[in-house]
Structure 1
Amino acid sequence: MTKLLSVTLSTLALVCASLIFSGSTQAQADQQIKTEIQKKLGTNAKVRSVTPAPVSGLYEVLVGNDIFYTDASAKYLIQGEIIELTSGKNITEQRQADLNRIKWTDLNSANAFKTVRGNGTRQLAIFSDPNCGYCKRLEKSLQQLDNVTIYTYLIPILSADSIQKAKQIWCSADPNKTYIDWMVNGVAPSGKSDCSNPLDKNLTFAKTYGITGTPTLFFTDGSRFPGAVQVTDIEKKFASLK
């Protein structure tokens, strides 16, 4: 019995050592590919990681938040999507969604103004620039939503005038009304712009989480929708969260 136990433990030790060696070898291969890809891309693009892709012989290359693929020799850079034919699952799209996901609790509601309609049970966060045409289109569409709480985070990234308008909106007596008056009704904000505001904090958050365009929407599961999303798509997302 003692001899059998000894043999079993020895076998387990060999298996563990083999797994550690295999993992180390894979990590070295990934690093070599990453180094080679970075060398070829130069300093204009930052390669965040290189990991084996779901398809044998391919590697996922993460540049910023964008997904590419390469071969083991780092000779080719492939731009496109991997789709599993048996299930129809878009593996690249799912991976991209996971990369773009945040924790809802990372959002600080004190840095946003809040709109509540109906019972307010459904929650949505929007990063917006007051001079963004797509943001204005989205806001007009959002007027159709009911039973929702919307947190609007101003990130003035388009121009100096965006900064001025964002400050005037935040400093107004009713930021939400002033924002909607401008975005939906075309009534420009006026008044003071020298109050304490969260704009710098919002811009820092946007940079940290790769929010490079407006509008950008987030749902309570952390998923991200960029652009002027259709209300029907927002409703579908809300339905999936139940």
Structure 2
Amino acid sequence: MKQLAIAASILGLLACSPQGEAKLSAAPEGFDDSYLQKMGFTVETVEASAIEGVYQVITDQGLIYVADGGKMLIGGRIYDITGAQPVNLSENAIRQMRQKDVAAIDGEAIVYQAEDEKYVVTVFTDPTCGYCRQLHNDLQSYLDKGISIHYLAWPRTGLQGSSYEQLKTVWCSDDPKAALTAAKSDKRLPAARCDDPVDAHFALGNKFGVRGTPAMVLPSGELIPGLVPADRLLNTIKQSQ
């Protein structure tokens, strides 16, 4: 536990997430991920960063940097300062990670599709969250702007409590869209059980840096915390491209 606390304090934006065994893909020769595993990380990919000798590592808890073949953990972000303006290389890598991961589970989302779809925004939601309810009540304003909303589950109380159970029931319902609307209106849901994706969505949100709901992942991979009205969201999407 002490090691996990140290890792969290170094990185500042990580949180524990439920994952299985390590699924490291083709690590560079000489890279040893055993030290990161001892710290509680599940390593997914390892590649060279923009700095010689420093590796860019995607884990179940997000992006980290390590050196000395996996023996040294580095906190912070990498910027390219050679141009007119600094470029946050770390943020670019994180956005690419989010885009890839969202695409991989898109079939698990509860989708409200705009008739004239121009953009897709993925929203981590919780039926007990007041701002999530407000967003849902205003859903048509997003659809009218050509913004489709793809919901993923992120119970604010973690993998326990009423919101967690509600989300599991919603995703297992015969009509998840109707069930989600009902849950956000404090209506009783018929019992339903299945092999739901709520735990996986929660872990993904943690990996992305979600700390509350709603949290919006834009097409660019940028993460926007909180409720953003449709007009402002459309402008933000255009600026982030």
- TM-score > 0.5, shorter chain as reference: yes
Identical aligned pairs, as a percentage?
16
Equivalent residue runs for 1:75-154 within 5 Å: 76-87=72-83, 88-102=86-100, 104=103, 106-108=105-107, 112=110, 114=112, 116=114, 119=116, 121-132=118-129, 135-136=132-133, 138-139=135-136, 144-145=141-142, 146-147=144-145, 148-154=147-153
Task: Choose the corresponding residue for 1:193, options 180, 190, 203.
Answer: 190
For 1:74 and 1:113, the matched residues in 2 are separated by 40
Q: CA RMSD in A?
A: 4.1
Q: CA deviation at 1:79?
A: 0.8
Distance in 2 of aligned mates of 1:76 and 1:139? 45
Q: Counterparts of 1:194 and 1:235 in 2: how far apart (Å)? A: 37
Q: How does 1:1-242 map to 2 (within 5 A)?
A: 27-29=28-30, 31-32=31-32, 34-35=33-34, 37-38=35-36, 42=38, 44-72=40-68, 76-87=72-83, 88-102=86-100, 104=103, 106-108=105-107, 112=110, 114=112, 116=114, 119=116, 121-132=118-129, 135-136=132-133, 138-139=135-136, 144-145=141-142, 146-147=144-145, 148-154=147-153, 156=155, 158=157, 159-166=160-167, 167=169, 174-175=178-179, 177-178=181-182, 182=184, 187-190=185-188, 192-195=189-192, 200-203=195-198, 205-206=200-201, 210-212=204-206, 213=210, 214-219=213-218, 221=219, 223=221, 225=223, 227-228=225-226, 230-231=228-229, 234-239=233-238
Letter in 1 for 2:28: A
Higher relative contact order (CA 8 A, sep 6+): 2
Cα distance in 2, alignment partners of residues 240 and 69 from structure 1: 28
Rounded Cα–Cα distance in structure 2 between residues aligned with 1:107 and 1:131: 23
Q: Cα offset for 1:42? A: 1.5
Letter in 2 for 1:93: E
1:194–1:59 Cα change, 3 Å: closer
Q: Which amino acid aligns with 2:87?
A: K
Contact 1:115/1:176, CA 8 A, preserved across alignment? no
TM-score (norm 2): 0.60
When the two structures are aligned, how many residues end up with a matched partner? 199
Q: CA deviation at 1:97?
A: 0.9
1:84 aligned partner, one-letter code: D
User: 1:203 Cα deviation (Å)?
Assistant: 1.7
Residues 155 and 203 of structure 1 are in contact (CA less than 8 Å); yes or no, is this contact kept in structure 2? Answer: yes
Query: What TM-score do you get using the length of structure 1 for normalisation?
Result: 0.60
Q: Deviations over 1:38-74 (max 9, x none)?
A: 3xx6252233344322112323243324222233365
CA distance in 2, matches of 1:225, 1:99: 12
